[in-house]
Amino acid sequence: MAAQRGEGETTTTPLEPADRERARAIPEAAVARLAVYLRVLSGMADQGVTAVSSEELSQAAGVNAAKLRKDLSYIGSYGTRGVGYDVEVLVSHIERILGLTRNHSVAVVGIGNLGHALANYGGFPGRGFPVTALFDVDADLIGVPVGGIPVSHIDDITAVCLEREVSIGVIATPPPAAQSVCDRLVSAGVQCILNFAPVVLQVPDNVEVRKVDLAVEMQILSFHVARRADEAASVSVGNNGLGVDGMVIRP
Amino acid sequence: MAAQRGEGETTTTPLEPADRERARAIPEAAVARLAVYLRVLSGMADQGVTAVSSEELSQAAGVNAAKLRKDLSYIGSYGTRGVGYDVEVLVSHIERILGLTRNHSVAVVGIGNLGHALANYGGFPGRGFPVTALFDVDADLIGVPVGGIPVSHIDDITAVCLEREVSIGVIATPPPAAQSVCDRLVSAGVQCILNFAPVVLQVPDNVEVRKVDLAVEMQILSFHVARRADEAASVSVGNNGLGVDGMVIRP
DNA sequence: TACCGCTTGTGAACGCATGCACAAAGTCGG
DNA sequence: CCGACTTTGTGCATGCGTTCACAAGCGGTA
Ligand SMILES: NC(=O)c1ccc[n+]([C@@H]2O[C@H](COP(=O)([O-])OP(=O)(O)OC[C@H]3O[C@@H](n4cnc5c(N)ncnc54)[C@H](O)[C@@H]3O)[C@@H](O)[C@H]2O)c1
Ligand SMILES: NC(=O)c1ccc[n+]([C@@H]2O[C@H](COP(=O)([O-])OP(=O)(O)OC[C@H]3O[C@@H](n4cnc5c(N)ncnc54)[C@H](O)[C@@H]3O)[C@@H](O)[C@H]2O)c1
């Protein structure tokens, strides 16, 4: 909706009605994997590979071959039985479904440790996500270029986001500021937010939020360490080699 | 089911076998949420809150109340019916299940844009994840302290990781180096890896990998933009300037 | 002590995602 | 042109995760 210019004509290449229905039905989990397939396929294309089978591609993407085929089937039937998939064709169809046929302007809010890293990162523009705006409250930062873009004051967020047609907002401020920054982004018309602050954001229904929570990631890893340690411990104590449900733990 | 003891009365082992069995059965998705609950609860504790109901906590964590209760039930029954949960009690039990009763040393490999941000980040040590080792190949960086820790050469990774008992390795190198760095971490005995490089890592079964893939996150957001735009487009045949839900889109 | 109202903990139903297994559909060699 | 071989696309079963709904349990109150 934010991408919608006036009425009728959009700059985005419209999907065929059939594709539109498909896109609506793609499971979230499959979308995430499609993005991974896309990267793997792009890499293959760069190396001159023109065709690939579901088996090869699934290996490279680290998933089950059947799952890969099912994922691809969500976007249509573009393979050739007995042969496999044409890399270029697959790339273009995945890009189309993911909405990568147009650029998505990114704004980063909070130009501290993380914000600097993000602003300097060269991987985004190349993939269709140019960083076009940076915001902070720190007076010493305003106007200073980071990664080639001068930092704007957070109070100008609405004007700047509208002017530069920002469609994705990245929050890299301290936790206490995150909700307020989020609200400002939303009122500036940004409907997609990537949040690095360890805070649960409240947003209206029409806004999509994804969070990257490193502490949570670490704690999940910690859980697995602990679980493994416990398993080892339970095996070393007068154990009979059987797990709780009778499965053999160690042959 | 999985929690039930073999046949008849098993010996009354005075350890905590119940918890061990429970931990094994916790769904991955629930573990991730437990980490979130823990953060919310810690915040509440800091503000002097001593008791909380599933309704309140679920609101704060942004999840369904029933789901929250089920998640908590995986770790045991520590609530009081008619009252709610004691914040301190819940915190300590979640910490125990997540293995946060001990510290987990973290090593960061690749001290570039992102590695610097991670090394300087103050949020990890406070939560039981002290960064104790940094690695890079760049000769100019070796010995230079970042966030108080001198950067070691990647070739010393095995010795340093063993000496500092590193249990989590964070990969922040360019994509081409990631697999090789991963292999080195694994042979240094690190069993948990957090990967920022947009690469699918191959590891043995006993190693746990979690990836943080910002490009994928952005592409998922892009997908939702596209989907929304399409929905709007399908409505906007003879559009009146109003979006699907009647909100003004952008003049 | 007995009752009442509130909140937990969980059995059960549901829905979504995964993985299997195979028919359909194509290629290629003869 | 045909038949053997390869790989896709998908119906189906299975398992996991979410949600509902309510009995069980507890504190407060009379
Ligand atoms: N640095 C990391 O590696 C890392 C890791 C995990 C999570 N995080 C999270 O990411 C966020 C940023 O981390 P950081 O290390 O870059 O912090 P930082 O303190 O280095 O930077 C925060 C920046 O946000 C700015 N800021 C503060 N309030 C603001 C506001 N209202 N509007 C706009 N800008 C504002 C500050 O001026 C500062 O420049 C934090 O929430 C942190 O918890 C960071
Ligand atoms: N910077 C970001 O915001 C960002 C965002 C998303 C993903 N990433 C990913 O994170 C990774 C790091 O990004 P960055 O921007 O910090 O890159 P960078 O180029 O700034 O830093 C990479 C560092 O890794 C070091 N290095 C190279 N090969 C190495 C090896 N074999 N062993 C040890 N160190 C080695 C380099 O010397 C350099 O210091 C990349 O894979 C990138 O795609 C970064």
Mutate which of A113, A135, A138, A171 for ligand 1 pocket (most atoms within 8 A of beta carbon): A113
For residue A175, tell me if it sits in a domain: yes
Q: Is the CB of B157 under 6 A from ligand 2?
A: no
Q: Where is the domain boundary, A30, A65, A97?
A: A97
Q: Using a 7 Å cut-off to protein CB atoms, list the covered nucleotides of chain C.
A: 5-11, 16-21, 24-28
For residue A195, tell me if it sits in a domain: yes
By the 8 A CB rule, do A166 and A114 touch?
no
Nearest Cα residue in chain A from B29: A220
Q: Tell me, what's the pLDDT at B229?
A: 79
Domain co-membership, B17 together with B69: yes
Domain co-membership, B31 together with B76: yes
Domain co-membership, B34 together with B111: no
Q: Average the pLDDT over B227-251 and give the result.
A: 50
Domain of B238 in residue numbering reads as 220-251
For residue A226, tell me if it sits in a domain: yes
Q: Tell me, what's the pLDDT at B14?
A: 34
Domain co-membership, B113 together with B87: no
Instruction: Find all residues with CB under 8 Å of A101, minimum gap 6, and list them.
Output: A12, A13, A95
Is the backbone of residue A48 left (phi > 0), alpha (psi -120 to 50) or beta? left
Tens digits of residue pLDDT in A211-243? 999 999 999 999 998 888 777 776 655 443 333
CA of B79 to nearest chain A CA: how many angstroms apart? 22
Domain co-membership, B73 together with B121: no
Q: Is the CB of B147 under 6 A from ligand 2?
A: no
CA of B78 to C1' of C1 (A): 28
Instruction: Tell me which of A149-153, B140-144, B225-229 is least confident.
Output: B225-229
Q: Tell me, what's the pLDDT at A2?
A: 34
For residue A234, tell me if it sits in a domain: yes
Nearest Cα residue in chain B from A61: B200
Q: Where is the domain boundary, A97, A130, A148?
A: A97
Largest CA distance in chain B: 75
Q: Tell me, what's the pLDDT at B235?
A: 64
Q: Tell me, what's the pLDDT at A16?
A: 53
Question: What percent of chain A clears pLDDT 90, i.e. is strictly above it?
Answer: 77
* pLDDT over threshold 90, residue B96: yes
Q: Is the CB of A137 under 6 A from ligand 1?
A: yes
Q: Tell me, what's the pLDDT at A27?
A: 93
Mean pLDDT over the full length of chain B: 86
* pLDDT over threshold 70, residue B3: no
What are the structure tokens assigned to B177, written together? 């180096």
Domain co-membership, A121 together with A190: yes
Domain co-membership, A135 together with A171: yes
Q: Is the CB of B115 under 6 A from ligand 2?
A: yes
For residue B1, tell me if it sits in a domain: no
For residue A1, tell me if it sits in a domain: no
Number of residues written out for chain B: 251
Q: Tell me, what's the pLDDT at A231?
A: 72
Q: Average the pLDDT over B235-248 and give the result.
A: 39
Q: B166-171 and B192-195: which strand pairing?
A: parallel
With cut-offs at 50, 70 and 90, classify the pLDDT of residue B227.
confident
pLDDT along chain A (251 residues), means of 10: 32 50 78 97 95 95 96 94 94 95 96 97 92 98 97 98 97 98 97 97 94 96 87 57 33 29
Q: Which ligand has the shortest distance to the CA of A113?
A: 1
Domain co-membership, A121 together with A87: no
* pLDDT over threshold 50, residue B240: no
Domain co-membership, A128 together with A53: no
Which residue has the CA at smallest separation from atom 15 of ligand 1?
Answer: A113
CATH number at B66 reads 1.10.10.10
Tens digits of residue pLDDT in B169-200? 999 999 999 999 999 999 999 999 999 999 99
* pLDDT over threshold 50, residue B30: yes
* pLDDT over threshold 50, residue B201: yes
By the 8 A CB rule, do A87 and A44 touch?
yes
Is the backbone of residue A205 left (phi > 0), alpha (psi -120 to 50) or beta? alpha
Which residue carries 């059965």 as its tokens?
B25
Domain co-membership, B25 together with B115: no
The number of domains in chain A is 3
Q: Is the CB of B173 under 6 A from ligand 2?
A: yes
Q: CB-CB: which of A2, A194, A220 is closest to B31?
A: A220
Q: Average the pLDDT over B23-37 and give the result.
A: 90
Domain co-membership, B78 together with B159: no
Tens digits of residue pLDDT in A183-211? 999 999 999 999 999 999 999 999 999 99
CA of A74 to C1' of C15 (A): 18
Contact A234 B17 (CB under 8 A): yes
Which residue has the CA at smallest separation from atom 37 of ligand 1?
Answer: A138
* pLDDT over threshold 80, residue B243: no
For residue A60, tell me if it sits in a domain: yes
Q: Average the pLDDT over B103-131 and give the result.
A: 95
CA of A10 to nearest chain B CA: how many angstroms apart? 8
Q: Where is the domain boundary, A97, A130, A150?
A: A97
For residue B70, tell me if it sits in a domain: yes
CA of B82 to C1' of C1 (A): 20
Domain co-membership, B88 together with B115: no
Mutate which of B109, B142, B173, B201 for ligand 2 pocket (most atoms within 8 A of beta carbon): B173
With cut-offs at 50, 70 and 90, classify the pLDDT of residue B231.
confident
CA of A129 to nearest chain B CA: how many angstroms apart? 8
Q: Tell me, what's the pLDDT at B67?
A: 97
